[in-house]
Amino acid sequence: MFKRGLKDVVAVHTKIASVDGEKGELRYRGELVDKVIPNTSFEELSTYLWTGSKEVISPLFIKGRILPQHVHNLLQTLPNDLQVMDAMKAAIAVFGTKSFLSKSNDEQSILLTAALPVIIATFYRKQQGLHPIESRDDLGHTENFLYLLTGISPTPAQVEALETYLLVTMEHGLNASTFAARVTISTESDIPSAIVSALGTMKGPLHGGAPSGVLNLLDDMKSPEHVRSVIEGRLAKGERIMGFGHRIYKTEDPRSILLREKCLALQGEDAWLDLATYAEKEIIQLLNEHKPGRKLYTNVEFYAAAIMRAINLDPALFTPTFSVARIVGWTAHAMEQVEDNTIFRPQSVYIGKN
Active-site amino acid positions: 246, 301
Q: Is 145 helix (H, G, I), strand (E, B) or coil?
A: helix
Q: Using alpha carbons only, what angle is made at residue 316 by residues 118 and 152, rounded to the nearest 5 degrees?
A: 50
Residues in the chain: 354
As to burial, measured by CB atoms within 10 angstroms (0-12 exposed, 13-18 middle, 19+ buried), residue 194 is buried
- Which amino acid appears at position 99 of this protein? S
Which CA distances in Å does 147 have to 29, 143, 248?
31, 6, 35
Residue 32 in 3-state DSSP?
Answer: strand
φ, ψ for residue 19 (rounded to 5)?
Answer: -125, 125
Q: Kindly give, in sequence order, each residue whose CB lies less than 8 Å from that of residue 163, ignoring residues fewer than 6 positions away.
A: 41, 42, 140, 142
Buried b (16+ CB within 10 A) or exposed e, 46-71: bbbbbeeeeebebebbeebbebbeeb
CB atoms within 10 A of CB 164: 23
Cα–Cα nearest to 119, from 67, 161, 192, 78? 67
Secondary structure percentages of the chain, helix, strand, coil, to 5: 60, 5, 40
Select from 190, 233, 167, 35 the least CA-distant residue to 102. 190
203 neighbors 319 (Cβ within 8 angstroms): yes
